Structures are given as C-alpha cells and as structure tokens.
Amino acid sequence: MKKPINPILKIFKHQSYSFQLSSKIPIFATVKLKFLSDMLKTFRFCKGIEIQFRQWSNKNYAVFRSLKKTIKICTLAIGYSIITLPEPVFAQVEPDSPKDTVYNLDCVIVSARRTPTVYSEAARVVEVINQDEIRACPAQNLNELLENALSVDVRQRGVHGVQADISIRGGTFDQVLILLNGIPVSDPQTGHHNLNLPVDLENITRIEILEGSGSRIFGPNAFSGAINIITKDQGKDFVRGGVSYGQYNLLNGNASVNYSLGKFSQLLSVGYKSSSGYTENTDFSSKNAYYQASLKTKKSEFDLQAGYLNKGFGANSFYSAKFPNQYEQFKTKFASLTYQTGKKLVFSAGTYFRRGHDRFELFREDNYKYTNGYFVTENGDTAQFVPGYYYGGHNYHRTDIKGAFSKLMYVTKIGKSEIGIDYRYEEILSNVLGNISYALPIHVKGEDRGYFYTGATRKQFNIFAEHSHYYKGFSFSGGMLMNYCNEFGAHNYFGAEAGYDIWKKIKIYGSVNQSLRFPTFTDLYYSGPSNFGNDELNPERALGIEAGLKQVWEHHSWNISYYHRNGKDVIDWVKKPSETKYTTTNYSETTSKGYELSYKRYFNNKYISSFTVNYSYSETSNDRNDSLISAYVLDYLKHKFVVSGNFKLTDKFKLNLNCNYQDRNGSFTGSDGLENDYLPFFLVGAKLIFTHKSCIFSVEATNILNKNYRDIGFVQMPGRWIVFGFYIDYQLHRKK
C-alpha cells in the first residue's frame, strides 16, 4: 500500500498555490524553514490566517525563491473590518550569519463590509494605520493621530481629544461615517460629536480609512468616506497600563487587561484625562470605560462590546467668537452584539444601541450663578446676547440610536456574493431641536433645571446586495443599496469598482459610486444667537468617480489617485456679509475634485524602520456666484503634505519625526464681525521611546516650532506641548 502523500506536498504539484482554510478571523501560523522537510512537518495553521511566502533570504533554505512560486493561504473575514488587513507582517528566521535578513510579506486581505477581497486586488483607496504606527506617532489621542492620514482633514477646537471635526476629500464633518469595530456610531444630532468614542488610543489595534463615496457599502452618511476603529487584539493576553504628565497640568492615565479562557476572550479598559488648559477656558476632564468579549465555537462566533464616556470641557470661542465662556458636557453609552456562522455560506447578524447626553452652556455656569431666572456674575453682570436680550439657560439634548442588521455571503468559483438588510432608528429629545412638541416637559436626568420640550424621530430601512470577483489580475466589485427613510422617502444607490494588474503588482483601478447623506437634527431644527436651521432641507446626493495607479509590494506601497465628486443639494451653513446669523441651505450643485500621492516604505536596517510621504490636493466649488459666506463646505483643506519617519537610535531607543503642512481655503468670522482668511501652517512633532522589557518610557512634543495657527474659526491652538509618559505592556504567557 502506498504511503499517503502529505497534503502540503500536493500543493507543490499544481501551478496555483492558493487555497482557503476557513472564513474565520486570522490568528497565527508558524513556519520553520531550515529544511523543506522540517517546514512540511512543522507547518502549523490556526484557522483563518493568510500568509504569502516570497523570497526569504540569501540562504540555501530559500526554497520558495527556487520554486519561483507563491503560496497564498487566505481567508475572508467579515466581522470587524471595513478591510481585514493585518499590519505589515515580517517573516523571521534564525540567522546563520549577520547577513541574514528579515523580509516583509505583502500578504494582506481586504474585506469591504459587504464582500471581502485581497488588499492588493482592491480597486479603492483604503489607508490603514497599524498598531506599531499608532504607538510610535507623537499623538495623545485619536484626533491627533488622524491628522497625518492621507486626505483626512481634522479640525480641532480642543486638543487631546476634547473636540474635533473630521472630513475626507474636501467633504464636511457630517459627511464621514465613523464605525467602531464595524458598528456605525456617528451622531445624528451633529457631526461635532462623531469622535466622542469610549476607547483609549492605547487599545486601538488598527484604523481603516475608506476614501470616497461609500453609501452602497455602509448605507447613508458615508458620503465622502468612512473610518473604522478596531480594538480587537487577536490571540494575545496582556495587562497594560500607563500614565503621562505634561505641560498645563495634563494628566493621562489608562489601564487595560485582555484575558482569554479557552474560546472565550475579553478586554476591559478604563481611562482618565484632564488638564487645566493652555489658555483661559480650555480646561477639560474626561473618563471612559470599554469592555469587549468574544466567544468562539466550532461553527460560530459571538462578539459583544460596550462603552461609556463622560467628558466636560471649556469651549473658548468654539462656535462663536462673541461668546468665549462656552462650556460643554457630553456623556455617551454604547453597546453592540454580533453573531457570525458558516464558512462557504456565511451568515451574520447584529444589533446595537447608543445614547448620547449633551449639555451646552453658552455662558459657563462656573462663572455665572443662576439667580431668579438669570445668570449673574459675582460683580453683578447678567449674561446677555445683546443689551436687553438675556440668556435664558443651557441647551439639553438626548440622542438615541437603535439598529439591527443581518446579511448572507456565499463564496463560489465565480466570486463572492452578499445580500442583507439593516434597520436604524434615531431619536432626539431636546429643548432646542425637534419638530414634535411635548404636552408635558420631560425632566433631564441629573439636571436641576433641565427639561426637554421638543424632539424628533427618524427611521431607516436598507436592502443591499453586492458581488465581487477576482480572476488572473482582474478584480471587480459592484452592488446597490435601496434605502427608505420615513422622513425623506426612498432612494436607490449603485456603485462599482474594477482594477487590473498591469505589471509587477502595479494595479490600474477605477470606481463609480453614488452616495447619500441625511441632514442632522441640528441642520434641520437648531435656533441660536448665531445660527438658524432649516426644516425644509433635502438629503445630500453625489456621484463620485475615482481612478488611479497603486502598487503593494513586499517592502513598500504607493498610490496615485484622482477623484471627482459631483454633489446635489449639498448642505452648508451660509450668511451674507451684512448678516450676523448663519442658516442652512442646499446648494443646487457642488463639485469636489483632487488628487492624492502616497508612498510608504519599510526598511530592514539598523537606522530606520519606516518612512511615509503623503500629499493631497482638493478643490470645491458651488453653482452660486453670489457673495455668501460659507461656514464649512468652502472651508476645505486645499493642500496637505505629511512626511514621517521611524528611526532606530539604538536597540532600545526609537524616534518618530512627523512634519505636517496644511493650507486651507476659506475664512472665519472674528469677534469684531470681520472675515479673516485662514493662513497656512507647518507643524513638527516628535516622540522618543525607550523600551526595556515590558516597560516603555516616552517623551513627546507637538508643535515643536511653537507655531501660531488655527484649525477652525477663532479658536487659537496651543503652542509647543511636551508630555512625559510611562507605559507597561506585559504579555501573559499561559498554557492553552
């Protein structure tokens, strides 16, 4: 009787060395490459890993180089990611001599939430920031980290995660969809709250940025792009904690533990941050907690996440230069549960809930005491908008989001097909926003004088379908989304992408996608001293076209792209030069266009680990030739140029340098009522890291050159800010 042939050897008998093990999320694989026979004996896979072997080294055991073939073992995870893309993977072999090298493997998988695909085959621009880049960057929070991303515009009103507006490719802050582990968390009250997330930067393992129209993939509100924050740490048990202290009494502390027991794993994280502020009324205090659990069985996986955030901050001139004593308190609760089962036929479903509490004080109560219906200072001054028009009290809002979805994906020889449905309910209770008046006011929990007098609700139902296919260097993905909203009726949106490998993994690609965004409750109903909403607004619509060239190789990647977005009924806050109030309006037509250049290189030497260069150019125009002043749409980031590098000073010392140049179109209204043009600025940041075993010491500085600059409006950003940190990252090595 013949001896059974090793299944790995069978692979080598075929021209194509690609196969799929399962559809689970990648965990690990180990390979020993001293000899081919040893490798075959010790090849060990856990379900779901993708590995791509290439030329390993200049040694005689470089069997794959001699074969001149590629073995690709890949899976198509659809759980957490916009794209399931591991950080750059390195293959390490035991060196025979100092000349042995470590090579980067370009094995990455892309998984658009609808149907996954291989990253190098994707016909879209997707930027990924991995955990090593997050830790190396001189950033204390998510907002500062995203400042360096390609075509991402982060306009901070408050530093260290206090408040920021985020946009992509010349869009506005309401046109970007934010997801946490694949669950949409964008706020329907206003995009100003979109980055109020209960997650510390230290627990983020990856950030995925989809640039361009994405409504067919994610539904309404992914108008100009989407950002997915992923916290799941796969296959690692750890205890982490850290504290940092810096100028202006900045104190930042966090602790987290990830522990698994068999097929059940869980992550718990808590954090605290505070500062006395870099100028008057810029102090802040924030605390958060986050929990994540995962249970895997032979055929299924359950994932649970929950979070809480409580943040209060002085908002000096945040929304109007006329009122420097603003203050805001924001609290949010969030939870989601998802389920996935199947391999070739994959079924997944989930549900989620988010509640946000917002209290906005135009006149900070720390400085004013409520007396007989008025807010009065110690010296007797009464809070008033103009003489005789007195401040009556704070704005209170409570926003609820409830959602559920289910989808079915089928993998065949002709590609991957998916169909699904999702439902979303949005509600706001407020004393300012809404079109429903309550007969009896609803008391605001935890507030002595707060009551809700009005509110609004919105229901959405989506049906989507998508198919993707890859064959001999050609990739294609197309689909559609049918949306019904009780407030705005039915809409159908279509899109497709295609790409082709023309030479040595250089891919030419193009895409055409439609997008949709519904007005926020603030767009529709807000009424204040400087702004006035419009309840007759139409949803925004757009057709986006994109084309480019890109290459994803073993040690480097680059991209050149051009985009053109033709928008209809785009919403903006505008006013005439002679007016003092902004109001919302629909532009009949807007055009946003631009191009992007990016290059990233990983090195294997004693001096430098990686080097990145990003440049983006954007331009937006509308169909109006009048002299209306735009608050957001025409205040786009025209030029953005970012250079960063990670350097190895010694085995234990590492240095990250980051340079960021920004030139913004548009103007802002000063406290004197006059318009001021935005000025370009150049920022330099650095972070020095010393690592000893599980301990990490750091010194980081932002705005090293102490530049005077503004991201938005009349808000003056801080100068040089130095922070010292100590961090422990202890990996728990337990027998499984």
**Range with the poorest average pLDDT among 419-423, 471-475, 509-513:** 471-475
Residue 378 maps to a domain: no
CA distance readout (Å), 690 to 144, 306, 695, 718: 22, 33, 8, 27
CA distance readout (Å), 578 to 95, 352, 702, 713: 73, 46, 39, 18
Residue 307 maps to a domain: yes
Residue 193: left (phi > 0), alpha (psi -120 to 50), or beta? alpha
**Range with the poorest average pLDDT among 256-260, 329-333, 464-468, 501-505:** 501-505
- Which residues neighbour 59 within 8 Å (Cβ) at sequence distance 6 or greater? 93, 96, 100
- pLDDT digits over 662-721, tens only? 999 998 887 777 888 999 999 999 999 999 999 999 999 999 999 999 999 889 999 999
What six digits make up the tokens of 622? 């509308």
Nearest to 348 by CA among 294, 407, 295, 298: 407
The answer on 175 and 30 residing in a single domain is no
Given a contact cutoff of 8 angstroms between Cβ atoms, the answer to whether 225 and 171 are in contact is yes
Residue 71 maps to a domain: yes
Side-chain half-sphere of 398: how many Cα atoms within 13 Å?
13
- pLDDT digits over 620-677, tens only? 998 776 678 888 999 999 999 999 999 999 999 999 999 999 999 998 887 777 888 9
The answer on 62 and 123 residing in a single domain is no
290 membership: H or E segment, kind and range: strand 284-296
- pLDDT recorded at residue 63: 33
Percent of the chain with pLDDT over 70: 82
The DSSP output letter for 679 is P
The answer on 649 and 534 residing in a single domain is yes
Residue 631 maps to a domain: yes
Nearest to 686 by CA among 651, 716, 647, 717: 647
Nearest to 110 by CA among 26, 168, 224: 26
The answer on 185 and 45 residing in a single domain is no
- The rounded mean pLDDT for the chain is 84
Q: Which of 90, 107, 124 is the last residue of a domain?
A: 107
- pLDDT recorded at residue 678: 94
What six digits make up the tokens of 92? 């390490």
Dihedral of CA atoms 539, 545, 546, 547 in degrees, nearest 10, equals 180
Residue for token digits 């965990």?
27
The answer on 127 and 97 residing in a single domain is no
The answer on 100 and 132 residing in a single domain is no
132 membership: H or E segment, kind and range: helix 131-136
Q: Which of 50, 72, 107 is the last residue of a domain?
A: 107
Chain center to CA of 161: 14
Q: Which of 62, 83, 107 is the last residue of a domain?
A: 107
DSSP-derived pairing of the beta strands 721-731 and 695-702: antiparallel
Q: What is the tally of structural domains in the chain?
A: 2
Is the model's pLDDT at 95 over the cut of 50?
A: no
Number of residues in the chain: 736
Which domain covers residue 253, as residue numbers?
Answer: 116-362+394-731
φ, ψ of residue 51 in degrees (nearest 5): -130, 145
Q: From CA 223, how far away is CA 515, in angstroms rounded?
A: 5
Q: From CA 243, how far away is CA 545, in angstroms rounded?
A: 46
Nearest to 255 by CA among 660, 729, 731: 729
Helix, coil or strand: residue 64: helix
Given a contact cutoff of 8 angstroms between Cβ atoms, the answer to whether 231 and 203 are in contact is yes
Residue for token digits 């260290």?
160
Residue 271 maps to a domain: yes
Given a contact cutoff of 8 angstroms between Cβ atoms, the answer to whether 175 and 194 are in contact is no
Side-chain half-sphere of 400: how many Cα atoms within 13 Å?
10
Helix, coil or strand: residue 401: strand
Residue 574 maps to a domain: yes
Given a contact cutoff of 8 angstroms between Cβ atoms, the answer to whether 326 and 360 are in contact is yes
The answer on 507 and 471 residing in a single domain is yes
Residue 6 maps to a domain: no
Chain center to CA of 167: 10
The answer on 153 and 57 residing in a single domain is no
- pLDDT recorded at residue 732: 86
Count of other CB atoms within 10 angstroms of residue 16: 10
The answer on 49 and 177 residing in a single domain is no
Residue 2 maps to a domain: no
The answer on 149 and 70 residing in a single domain is no
- pLDDT recorded at residue 623: 78
Q: What is the pTM of this model?
A: 0.86
Side-chain half-sphere of 150: how many Cα atoms within 13 Å?
27
What six digits make up the tokens of 385? 């908008």
Given a contact cutoff of 8 angstroms between Cβ atoms, the answer to whether 484 and 220 are in contact is no
- Which residues neighbour 448 within 8 Å (Cβ) at sequence distance 6 or greater? none
CA distance readout (Å), 502 to 136, 286, 499: 35, 51, 9
- Which residues neighbour 323 within 8 Å (Cβ) at sequence distance 6 or greater? 317, 362, 363, 529
φ, ψ of residue 719 in degrees (nearest 5): -85, -145
**Identity of the amino acid at 553:** W
Is the model's pLDDT at 555 over the cut of 90?
A: no
**Range with the poorest average pLDDT among 102-116, 118-132, 344-358, 467-481:** 102-116
**Range with the poorest average pLDDT among 123-127, 285-289, 690-694:** 123-127
Is the model's pLDDT at 91 over the cut of 60?
A: no
The answer on 60 and 171 residing in a single domain is no
pLDDT tier at 245 (50, 70, 90 boundaries)? very high
- Which residues neighbour 183 within 8 Å (Cβ) at sequence distance 6 or greater? 305, 336, 338, 350, 352
What six digits make up the tokens of 133? 């880049």
The predicted model gives 65-84 an average pLDDT of 44
The answer on 490 and 341 residing in a single domain is yes
**Range with the poorest average pLDDT among 161-170, 498-507, 619-628, 683-692:** 619-628
Check which CATH number belongs to the domain holding 516 and give it.
Answer: 2.40.170.20
Is the model's pLDDT at 392 over the cut of 90?
A: no
